[in-house]
Amino acid sequence: MTSDLLGQRQTYQLTLKHPQRYKNCELYVELSGIHASFADTNERQTLAANRYKMAGTPFTKGQRLNSWRTIVKSPFFDSYDLTVSANHTKTDFTQLGINNMSDYEPKHHLLLNMGYSSRLRKTISLSFTNAQRLTFKDVRIIAVPLGSRYRQQTSTLRAQSLNKLKVTNNYVAGTSSATKGTVLTTSIPYSTGWHLTVDGRQTDTQQVNSGFVGAKIPAGRHKIVLTYETPGLKIGIIASVVGVILLLSGSIWLIIRRRILPNDP
């Protein structure tokens, strides 16, 4: 996709070959290999001159100077806005520029949720502003059916959740009773400080859903316990105790030494 006039929204439209397949579904648009290019100062000045020409207005020296000042004062810094829409649903994404140093993270892959619709969605529109050109290596449409099969699947997942759940700040416990091996997923941010036991046996945890605590749980009825301990806490306590012992030992040695050798300088 290419923008001829920066600042104006340019649109590219996807046509779905089999729109009936996406009815009663939650729709996702996956974009990969995203690349954005931006006009430099001279190109933006030329675009400004073209806008004046198209409007039939002279582009005077004063207007050129004002245009140049505006461009210098408000550079794009590799930022752009992308909107994906279908029917009455839309999802927006903003790529922050390098001037936003605390939150700058270039995105080359996006998964955008277009929501659920019972209506046919025949086209999907992708539009952007600020970038001169926006290209994608691949565009994929993912449909998640939300009919009776979906409800059956969610009911099955709920049945596999922990029973007799107990939760405190540093403690989570419950009972699993899955008929087959499964993966425990939580909404607890992943940290090496979380430790898991299954029926009292230490079990490794793993990251799930990109950044949360999870683990593989075998089939059958099991007691699941998650406890949190600040990473390095035991080592810190041991080091502190050793330090106190060494300090006391040194102090006692100095007292004894002074009593044995009172005239020793």
Residues 119 and 21 in one domain: yes
**For residue 123, is it within any domain?**
yes
Q: 145 and 171: one domain?
A: no
**Structure confidence by residue, pLDDT tens digits, 39-48:** 777 877 887 8
Tokens of 8: 């104006």
Same domain for 124 and 27, yes or no, is: yes
How far, in Å, CA of 159 to CA of 178, rounded?
A: 8
Q: What is the residue range of 176's domain?
A: 160-228
Residue 167 shares a structural domain with residue 204? yes
Average pLDDT over residues 73-85: 80
CATH number of the domain that 100 lies in?
2.60.120
| Total residues belonging to the chain | 265
Are 142 and 170 in a shared domain? no
Q: Are residues 34 and 109 in the same domain?
A: yes
Q: What is the DSSP string of 30-52?
A: EEES-EEE---HHHHHHHHHHHH
Question: Side chain identity at 188, as an amino acid letter?
Answer: I
Q: Is residue 173 domain-shared with residue 215, that is, in the same domain? A: yes
Pair (184, 215) in one structural domain: yes
Q: Are residues 18 and 116 in the same domain?
A: yes
Residue 120 domain-assigned (yes or no):
yes
Do 205 and 118 share a structural domain? no
pLDDT of 99 strictly over 90: no
Type of residue numbered 55: A
Residues 92 and 184 grouped into a single domain: no
Q: Assess whether pLDDT exceeds 60 at residue 263.
A: no
Last residue of a domain, one of 150, 178, 198: 150
For residue 233, give the DSSP letter: H
Flag whether the pTM goes above 0.85: no
Number of domains in the chain: 2
164 and 135 in a common domain:
no
- Terminal Cα-to-Cα distance of the chain (whole angstroms): 85
Q: pLDDT tens, 118-159?
A: 888 899 999 998 888 899 999 999 988 876 666 776 777 676
Residue 230 CA to residue 170 CA, distance in Å, equals 10
Cα separation, 216 vs 205, whole angstroms? 8
Helices (H) and strands (E) in the chain, counts: 4, 17
- Among 46-50, 221-225, 233-237, the range with the most confident prediction by mean pLDDT is 221-225
Unique residue bearing structure tokens 């390095």:
232
Query: Does residue 196 lie in a domain region?
Result: yes
